[in-house]
Amino acid sequence: MIADTVLGHIDDPAFAGRRQHHVDIGWGDAGKHRQLVTTDTGLEVRIMLPRGVFLHHDAVIADDGHAVVVVRRPAEPAIQVRFADNTARAMLMLGHLLGNQHAPVDVDDDG
């Protein structure tokens, strides 16, 4: 099967009732535009996406009319930073310090 675009989210009504093949894509591979992967059901999928596409959890990347291929993003270790003061200066410093670490960073509103 070939996946050449992100078709939508698995919760979209267009995919209701379809069989689902899941493929685990880690942070390091989520931005790769060319990959050959195997789903949890053994289906081989050739991913050929445009440059700049980042695969998110529950993204549908292939649909043959009967079944869909859905991206799963497994939990991975990430850097967690909490600031008492979320000013623009603090965010700029964080970006500068972590910018070249090539590590996943999750930004949320948890205090």
Q: Please give the structure tokens belonging to residue 45.
A: 């999928």
Spatial contact of 72 and 57, defined as CB atoms under 8 Å apart: yes
Q: Percent of the chain beyond pLDDT 90?
A: 64
Spatial contact of 78 and 105, defined as CB atoms under 8 Å apart: yes
Mean pLDDT of 1-25: 97
Q: Which helix (H) or strand (E) holds 91?
A: helix 88-98
pLDDT at 105 over 80: no
CA angle 87, 91, 95 (to 5 degrees): 170
C-alpha to C-alpha distance for 35 and 29, rounded to whole angstroms: 8
pLDDT at 50 over 60: yes
